[in-house]
Amino acid sequence: MDDGLTTNKIIEDMTHSVSEVPKILEPQMQDAWNILALSYDKVSTISFAHMAKNHQIAKIIMGLPNDRIVNLGCGSGVLEKSLFNLGFSGQMVSLDNSAAMLRIAREKIGQCPNISFNLFNLNHKLPFESNFFNCATAINIIFFLNQPLRFLSEVYRILKPGGYLLLVNPKPEGNIISFFKAQVNDRSIMPFIKELFRNLLGIGHIFRVIAFQKKLDKMHKDDMIHYSDDDELKSIVKSAGFSIEEFSEIQAGQNWLIKAVRY
């Protein structure tokens, strides 16, 4: 590296500063994610659409300059695992404010010195210096945050010029029924049913995720969380300073994927 620091040292320093950040402000949501973490991970890893989405994003990252990546709202580490499987060799810092999610993510990745998982509330100023990363991912996270535009402006700040943001957000018209339809339609019905039976012991996990998703649908209806439509999403990303290079569907048509560059 040309700045005289090894990347490991940088990650160590960043991890240290992350642990100094004040504890979470939104305890109820944090509790909810901690309780859901195991079920979320189990269902994610049998969901064709979810795994395909992460694999697709990992492939995009592998085609970009990726020596320093930050994953904002990393959940249980499915993207990190996909990258790992593709031979990712850069440095990755992953943040989430659910300790239970991070525990699962760490178990999933095992000893991997170039990926670090850190507890952090993304409603705070991001704990990194400016112009630091060449890629940032924010997958199904901004609608949980108090000020998505402020968050994305922070992401802009920590990216280097020429760095990329990969942003995924749910389409507002999605709901739990269309989600499951998409799961089934994404592959033929038989492998899906077989998978369900193979995981019969885990059926409780599926119900827990359905119940949580139903709560989110209700929160969306009650305006407690807000899923942006395509125009609004593009406008927030542009207002944060990014230029949008691609806007497409992902996760069996349930989510939007934005690939945006910071000039």
Stretch that binds ligand SAM, among 12-20, 69-77, 151-159, 247-255 (CB under 6 A): 69-77
Give the largest CA-CA distance in the chain. 55
CB of 188 to ligand SAM, least distance (A): 24
CB of 239 to ligand SAM, least distance (A): 20
Q: Are 61 and 91 in contact (CB under 8 A)?
A: no
Percent helix, strand and coil across the chain, each to the nearest 5? 50, 20, 30
85 class by beta-carbon count within 10 Å (0-12 exposed, 13-18 middle, 19+ buried): exposed
Residue 98 interacting with ligand SAM (CB under 6 A): yes
Stretch that binds ligand SAM, among 58-66, 90-98, 147-155, 189-197 (CB under 6 A): 90-98
User: Nearer to ligand SAM by C-beta: 26 or 217?
Assistant: 26
Stretch that binds ligand SAM, among 8-16, 121-129, 183-191, 225-233 (CB under 6 A): 121-129
19 class by beta-carbon count within 10 Å (0-12 exposed, 13-18 middle, 19+ buried): exposed
Give the other-Cβ count within 10 Å of 10's Cβ: 18
Residue 123 interacting with ligand SAM (CB under 6 A): yes
CB of 149 to ligand SAM, least distance (A): 15
Give the other-Cβ count within 10 Å of 160's Cβ: 15
Residue 83 interacting with ligand SAM (CB under 6 A): no
Binding footprint of ligand SAM on the chain (CB under 6 A): 26, 29, 33, 44, 73-75, 78, 96-98, 101, 121-123, 139-141, 144-145
